Amino acid sequence: MSVAIRTTLAGSFPTSAQEVKTVHALLNSRFTQHRRFGFTLIEMLVVIAAIGLLVGLLLPAVQAARSAARRISCYNNLKQLGLALHNYESALRALPSGYVYNFGVGGNQAGFGWGAVILPYMEQSSVYQNIDFKVPVFNLRNAVIREMHLASFLCPEDFIW
């Protein structure tokens, strides 16, 4: 151990310029050897700001992709409706009526529309089989089916009450 370190450890201060330089060199080498690894506050703020900027740029792109997917789903539903109408026409040689009205004592005794009669052609046979066409659509026997929302008749952005 050098004289400068020994005198410093003993409690006395280095007296010569050479001893002071030796103590400074030793202390500086210790600080450079025990350098802390980590981020400063400024570096952390810059990283957070960069991440925020990337998220800000990415969110509109994600929303646009979702909107495009919903629009394509709506187009697909319309295509399926068109195909079901064509299949109905091919099978029965006529398009379905827009609305079935059977005059009766209490008013309309039917009330079914084209959507109900094309259900088997839209792969919705189970729903079609649960409809009781012998009673009006507003009868309690048709209440569950009447209030059912089929995704094929709706676009993803449609609001359902």
**pTM of the complete model:** 0.62
pLDDT at 7 over 70: no
Q: Cβ atoms within 10 A of the Cβ of 71, count?
A: 13
Give residue 38's pLDDT: 78
Q: What is the pLDDT of residues 18-61, one digit of tens each?
A: 777 776 776 666 555 555 677 789 999 999 999 999 999 999 99
Residue pair 77/152 in contact by the 8 Å Cβ criterion: yes
Task: Spell out the residues 6+ positions from residue 81 whose beta carbon is closer than 8 angstroms to its own.
Answer: 118, 122, 152, 153
Q: Cβ atoms within 10 A of the Cβ of 42, count?
A: 8
Tally the residues of the chain: 161
Q: In the numeric block, which tokens belong to residue 129?
A: 């089989």
Q: In the numeric block, which tokens belong to residue 118?
A: 């094309």
Residue 123 is classified by DSSP as: T
Give residue 55's pLDDT: 93
Q: What is the pLDDT of residues 78-102, one digit of tens each?
A: 999 999 999 999 999 999 988 888 8
Residue pair 8/14 in contact by the 8 Å Cβ criterion: yes
Q: Which long-range contacts (CB under 8 A, 24 or more apart) does 10-14 make?
A: none
Residue pair 115/96 in contact by the 8 Å Cβ criterion: no
Residue pair 116/124 in contact by the 8 Å Cβ criterion: no
Q: In the numeric block, which tokens belong to residue 79?
A: 């295509």
Q: In the numeric block, which tokens belong to residue 121?
A: 């052609």
Task: Spell out the residues 6+ positions from residue 139 whose beta carbon is closer than 8 angstroms to its own.
Answer: 132
